[in-house]
């Protein structure tokens, strides 16, 4: 059942980072957190890529009672970086976390290697005040996604690593939520008009709630960091090669 009050409590922090306010404060894949509110009752991670899993930002949100949940494959990583044992989930599992009913949904690419189905990474359906909120994570248009029933959906529209605007709209048209918030797009992912292209492909009756903060250039910094890490390795390779030759 769609409730406007639940939609109004959903904030897109940046990229795919989500905060849901209310009596229970929920974060999904928090990144680029300002300050250190330490207000999280529940933090959910979809997968370990650095534009979704940021231990530095999670630590700004955690308090002693914070519940952390993640795919089973992330358990050791979370224990090591956040010093907390997470609740681990597999696709299809349902549970209650911090008083919130949560169902895990498979999130993966069908042909690309970026998000392998074998890793069993996740999206989540959270039931908040009788409103089902689906946060898909990084995924293609899959049979598991088509099986979701929800009132509000947060879907990636950037393409390449995930669905593009047309594919995301096809999913929304299939599962017919009341409102969809497009996320995970930016200069290197779909471009500034990705959300509007998504909106234009929706069937009448489905609302697109475009949040400016979902447009993010976080991937530019991710690529720059990867390049900086690669440069010393390349230099070392050529130094060793010249020495050995």
Would you write out the chain's pLDDT as a tens digit for each of its 245 residues?
999 999 999 999 999 999 999 999 999 999 999 999 999 999 999 999 999 999 999 999 999 999 999 999 999 999 999 999 999 999 999 999 999 999 999 999 998 889 999 999 999 999 999 999 999 999 999 999 999 999 999 999 999 899 999 999 999 999 999 999 999 999 888 899 999 999 999 999 999 999 999 998 775 555 444 444 444 554 454 555 555 55
Contact status, residue 25 vs residue 224, Cβ threshold 8 Å: no
The pLDDT of residue 188 is: 83
Letter string b/e over residues 211-225, b meaning 16 or more CB atoms within 10 A of that residue's CB: beebbbebbeeeeee
The pLDDT of residue 228 is: 42
The pLDDT of residue 225 is: 47
63: CB partners within 8 A, 6+ apart? 38, 39, 40
The pLDDT of residue 187 is: 86
For 92, the domain range is 4-244
CATH number at residue 214: 3.60.15.10
The pLDDT of residue 239 is: 54
DSSP state string for the chain: ---HHHHHTEEEEETTEEEE-SSS-EEES--S--S-----SEEE-S---TTT--HHHHHHH--TT-EEEEEGGGHHHHHHHHSSPPEEE-TT-EEEETTEEEEEEE---SSSSSS-GGG--EEEEEEETTEEEEE--S--S-HHHHT---SEEEEE-S-SSS--HHHHHHHHHHH--SEEEEESBBTTBB-TTHHHHHHHTSPTT-EE---GGGB--HHHHHHHHHHHHHHHHHHHHHHHHHHH-
Domain count, the chain: 1
Contact status, residue 57 vs residue 40, Cβ threshold 8 Å: no
Residue matched to tokens 């959300």: 195
Stated pTM of the model? 0.90
The pLDDT of residue 111 is: 87
């Amino acid at each position: 059942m769609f409730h406007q009050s639940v939609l109004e409590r959903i904030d897109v922090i940046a990229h795919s980072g989500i905060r849901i306010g209310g009596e229970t404060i929920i974060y999904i894949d928090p990144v680029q957190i300002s300050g250190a509110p330490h207000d999280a009752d529940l933090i959910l991670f979809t997968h370990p890529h650095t534009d979704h899993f940021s231990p530095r930002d999670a630590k700004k949100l955690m308090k002693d009672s914070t519940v952390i949940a993640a795919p089973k494959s992330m358990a050791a990583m979370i224990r090591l970086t956040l010093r907390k044992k997470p609740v681990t989930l597999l696709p299809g599992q349902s549970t209650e976390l911090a008083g919130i009913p949560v169902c895990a949904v498979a999130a993966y690419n069908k042909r690309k290697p970026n998000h392998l189905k074998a890793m069993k990474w996740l999206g989540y359906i959270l039931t908040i005040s009788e409103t089902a909120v689906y946060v898909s994570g990084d995924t293609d248009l899959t049979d598991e996604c088509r099986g979701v029933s929800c009132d509000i959906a947060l879907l990636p529209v950037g393409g390449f690593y995930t669905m593009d605007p047309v594919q995301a709209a096809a999913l929304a048209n299939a599962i017919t939520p009341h409102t969809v918030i497009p996320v995970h797009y930016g200069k290197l992912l779909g471009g500034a008009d990705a959300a509007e292209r998504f909106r234009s492909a929706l069937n009448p009756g489905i609302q697109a709630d475009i949040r400016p903060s979902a447009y993010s250039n976080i991937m530019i910094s991710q690529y720059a960091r990867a390049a900086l890490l690669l440069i010393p390795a390349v230099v070392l390779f050529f130094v060793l090669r010249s020495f050995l030759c």
